């Protein structure tokens, strides 16, 4: 989900749209566009690349475009189709009368496209969004009512979306709706604003209403019609937007944690932006200063971290060793600092911290730096103490994270480790074939779309959470690269629900922990298609034989799972090497919903702080 802004009123729309898009640039994007109505004509202006490219196009015709007092705008991160002008939003129908901007993913766009093409529609882009423009146009041709056309169109759409739509035959009107993607309406004096995030409109109004799933709003300069998907009128709930920047980011979600889980597709896009430009280009990490001479003498990597960051580091160890053949040690910073430090000038020491202010990790990197090691810091705060100690820096660009339980910052750290591993492999190792690296790059690029698929279908995770919310203990098992995922899933559950959850390598279950298993013990198995799938399946059968209550998190369609597991959480298919970045999302949601069912303080769990600044 990228960025949406809209305006209708008496002011010139163009500057409001462009300034709103500027405030959403942090999301990461590769194209931008606006649609305005001028002299009863819908006009589209689009450009690939940075927003400035669009501004330059608009500036050349500013006198003409300034006539419009209604418009919608969008910044896009490419999913369906390359980042080209043709694929940029807004999109239109064959007649050119409809304009649509869209955040999210239309899952059944192929079926809709085939149906619309048979009706005579000609598609000009590779996007899923263009199907919405044609679909709304076809419904409007019958109903002659834009609100009803949108309502009927959304009945046929599957997936996640925030949509803003204008039609040149329906003057001074914007229709907007959403499902599993944020959208709010800013309320002014005889004017309205639309946005996917508060920063786009906060300079214009402090009054807003948040749309819930499947609700539709129709705006004119002096009216607001608010209905549900069954055409029942609703009463708008107007909220006053708070001044504090941290509070602004809640966006109508019940908790910051849930909102931050939903931000993760955009977080991945933002981490990749500018670093992974194309599959056939090398990864760029501009603030990493490891040159060829330093890489030649590098014989060891030491990673130090705490908590959630430690689990991200474990994934980093796995992928760096696999891609580069360089030995990697991972250790809690709190342990590292109280034993003999054996790093030297041929050791790369990586410190990982969301805040960049974690006391144990700061001490660890300072000890290593004193012995001549090259220090690389992975952090969400490039202005932090740890960043100032760095010889190289990988800023993870996750944005403000309010909830104490880290979600989107963990995701950003994991993605940063994938980029770092590929970066090192491309420059210092011949162990991995170029085709294999390109495959991983492709998986990273499409990862946000797959996360959005999970977020659009949370019902099964909610049902599983409700079923197991009263468990007193919980075991997570996995093997290989997803052992860290098991640990992180267990940590999230511990942090916010206070259930005693533990992660194990699946092969170790029979070496002691199996004694705890009985009919009251849930065991969650992470089974990703790959080289250890059959082994984890066997370990799961061992647990089932001890009457444990079995849960599967899997991308497999293996029919054997149906008899073995009481509950199955399925995720989109993904390469085993990248699977930790996808598998963690349902585990975050599972922990969240269990804590919510139990009535816990999700965002501020007891005894915990966001940044630990003492050893």
Q: Which two tokens stand for residue 45?
A: 């202006």
CA triplet 336, 493, 555: central angle to 5 degrees? 100
Q: Hey, which bits of 216-271 come out as E strands?
A: 216-220, 223-227, 239-240
H/E segment holding residue 349: strand 347-353
- Of the candidates 121, 428, 137, 184, the one whose C-alpha atom is nearest the C-alpha of residue 297 is 428
Asked whether the beta carbons of 365 and 304 are under 8 A apart, the reply is: yes
Sign of the alpha-carbon torsion through 389, 394, 399, 402: negative
DSSP code for 363: H
Spatial distance between the Cα atoms of 516 and 518, rounded to a whole number of angstroms: 7
Q: Catalytic pick from 2, 93, 121, 324? A: 2
- Give the number of C-alpha atoms closer than 13 A to the C-alpha of residue 512, restricted to the C-beta side: 3
The question of whether 610 is a catalytic residue gets the answer yes
Phi and psi at 536, nearest 5°, equal -65, -35
User: What is the Cα–Cα distance from 303 to 365, expressed in whole angstroms?
Assistant: 9
User: Before 546, cis peptide (omega within 30)?
Assistant: no
- What is the distance between the alpha carbons of residues 494 and 339, in angstroms, rounded to a whole number? 29
CA dihedral sign, ordered 491, 441, 573, 111: positive
Rounded Cα–Cα distance for residues 587 and 349 (Å): 30
What are the two backbone dihedrals, phi and then psi, of residue 383, each rounded to the nearest 5 degrees?
Answer: -100, 10
Helix, coil or strand: residue 334:
helix
In angstroms, rounded to a whole number, what is the distance separating the alpha carbons of residues 29 and 45? 16
Residue 461: exposure state from Cβ atoms within 10 A (0-12, 13-18, ≥19): buried
Q: Which of 262, 591, 611, 590 is nearest to 404 (CA)?
A: 611
Half-sphere exposure of 349 (CA within 13 A, CB side): 31
Give the span between the Cα atoms of 27 and 49, in whole angstroms: 14
The two structure tokens encoding residue 249 = 């980011």
Which residue is listed with tokens 């060891």?
A: 300
CA-to-CA separations, 533 to 489, 506, 543, 544, in angstroms, rounded: 19, 11, 16, 16
The residue annotated as part of the active site, out of 11, 294, 369, 610, is 610
**For residues 230 and 140, what is the distance between their CA atoms, to the nearest angstrom?**
17
- Is 2 an active-site residue? yes
Question: How does 406-434 read in b/e, with b if 16+ C-beta sit within 10 Å?
Answer: bbbbbbbbbbbbbbbbbbbbbebeeebee
Strand order in the sheet with 239-240: 41-48, 31-38, 70-76, 3-8, 192-195, 184-187, 207-210, 239-240
Distance of alpha carbon 170 from the chain centroid: 35
Catalytic site positions: 2, 610
């Amino acid at each position: 989900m990228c960025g949406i802004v809209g305006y209708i009123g008496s002011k010139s729309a163009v500057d409001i749209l462009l300034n709103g898009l500027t405030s959403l640039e942090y999301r990461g994007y590769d194209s931008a566009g606006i649609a305005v109505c001028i002299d009863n004509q819908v006009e589209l202006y689009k450009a690939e690349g940075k927003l400035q490219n669009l501004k330059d196009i608009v500036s050349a015709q500013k006198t003409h475009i300034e006539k419009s007092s209604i418009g919608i705008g969008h910044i896009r991160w490419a999913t369906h189709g390359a980042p080209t002008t043709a694929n940029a939003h807004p999109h239109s129908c064959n007649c050119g009368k409809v304009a649509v901007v869209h955040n999210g993913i239309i899952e059944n766009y192929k079926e809709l496209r085939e149906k619309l093409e048979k009706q005579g529609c000609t598609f000009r882009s590779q996007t899923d969004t263009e199907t919405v423009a044609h679909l709304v146009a076809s419904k409007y041709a019958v109903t002659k009512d834009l609100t009803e056309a949108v309502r009927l169109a959304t009945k046929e759409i599957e997936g996640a979306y925030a949509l803003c739509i204008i039609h040149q035959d329906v003057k001074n009107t914007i229709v907007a709706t959403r499902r599993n993607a944020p959208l709010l309406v800013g309320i002014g004096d005889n004017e309205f604003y639309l946005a996917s995030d508060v920063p786009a409109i906060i300079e214009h109004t402090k009054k807003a209403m948040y749309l819930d799933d499947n609700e539709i709003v129709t705006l004119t300069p002096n009216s607001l019609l608010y209905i549900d998907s069954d055409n029942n009128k609703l009463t708008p709930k107007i909220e006053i937007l708070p001044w504090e920047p941290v509070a602004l980011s809640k966006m109508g979600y019940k908790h910051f944690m849930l909102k931050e889980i939903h931000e993760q597709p955009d977080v991945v896009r933002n981490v990749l932006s500018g670093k992974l430009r194309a599959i056939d280009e090398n990864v760029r990490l501009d603030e990493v200063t490891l040159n060829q001479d330093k890489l030649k003498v590098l014989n060891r990597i030491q990673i130090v971290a705490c908590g959630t960051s430690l689990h991200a580091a474990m994934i980093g160890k796995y992928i760096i060793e696999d891609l580069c053949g360089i030995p990697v040690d991972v250790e809690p910073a709190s342990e590292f600092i109280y034993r003999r430090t054996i790093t030297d000038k041929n050791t790369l020491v990586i410190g990982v911290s969301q805040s960049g202010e974690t006391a144990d990790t700061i001490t660890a990197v300072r000890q290593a730096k004193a012995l001549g090691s090259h220090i690389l810091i992975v952090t969400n705060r490039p202005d932090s103490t740890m960043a100032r100690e760095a010889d190289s820096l990988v800023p993870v660009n996750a944005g403000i994270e309010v909830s104490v339980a880290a979600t989107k910052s963990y995701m950003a750290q994991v993605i940063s480790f994938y980029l770092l591993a590929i970066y090192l492999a491309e420059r210092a190792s011949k162990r991995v074939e170029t085709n294999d690296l390109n495959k991983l790059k492709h998986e990273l690029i499409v990862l946000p779309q797959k996360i959005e698929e999970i977020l659009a279908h949370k019902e099964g995770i909610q049902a599983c959470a409700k079923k197991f919310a009263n468990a007193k203990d919980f075991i997570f098992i996995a093997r290989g690269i997803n052992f860290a995922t098991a640990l992180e899933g267990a940590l999230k559950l511990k942090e916010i629900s206070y259930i005693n959850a533990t992660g194990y390598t699946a092969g170790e279950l029979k070496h002691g922990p199996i004694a705890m298993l009985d009919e009251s013990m849930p065991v969650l198995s992470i089974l990703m298609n790959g080289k250890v799938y059959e082994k984890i399946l066997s370990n799961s059968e061992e647990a089932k034989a001890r009457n444990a209550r079995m849960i599967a998190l899997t991308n497999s369609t293996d029919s054997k799972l149906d008899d073995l597991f009481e509950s199955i959480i399925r995720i989109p298919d993904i390469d085993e090497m990248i699977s930790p970045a996808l598998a963690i999302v349902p585990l975050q949601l599972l922990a969240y919903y269990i804590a919510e069912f139990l009535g816990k303080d999700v965002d501020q769990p007891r005894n915990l702080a966001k940044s630990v600044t003492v050893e």
